[in-house]
Amino acid sequence: MKKLRWGVLSTAKIGLEKVIPAMQKGHYCAIAGIASRSPERAQQAADRLGIGKAYGSYEALLADPDIDAIYNPLPNHLHVPLTVQALQAGKHVLCEKPIALNTAEAQTLVDAAAGYPQLKVMEAFMYRFHPQWQ
């Protein structure tokens, strides 16, 4: 099985300290890129974590054909817009919670995802896979 090539939208603390290191331990994950609104911060994060590509915009990461999926830990109000953009770019999405701020946003996301049945969108809600809840 080939590795899923992840792009990370943001240099947020949760990604840098928790999610990226965990993904880097996975047998089927490769962190292929990280994006920030600041090219310098993206490059610093890439250097720190051994990530091959740094992007100075989220759109540049989404446009990269070498990225299969994105992790979206952006501020809550950006979850739906950037997740929809990722779908439109042909990427799977793992989005931090809350995936949407209200039912209208959630419906927007459901409608967008319906147009891309080959892609997966998932909220990063750990209890779904926690042994306590299995």
3 is catalytic: no
Q: Is 49 exposed, middle or buried (0-12, 13-18, 19+ CB in 10 A)?
A: middle
Q: What are phi and psi of 116, to 5 degrees?
A: -135, 65
What is the DSSP code (8-state) at residue 18? Answer: I
Question: Active site residue: 13, 25, 91, 97, which one?
Answer: 97
Return the amino acid letter for 50: G
Q: Which residues are catalytic?
A: 97
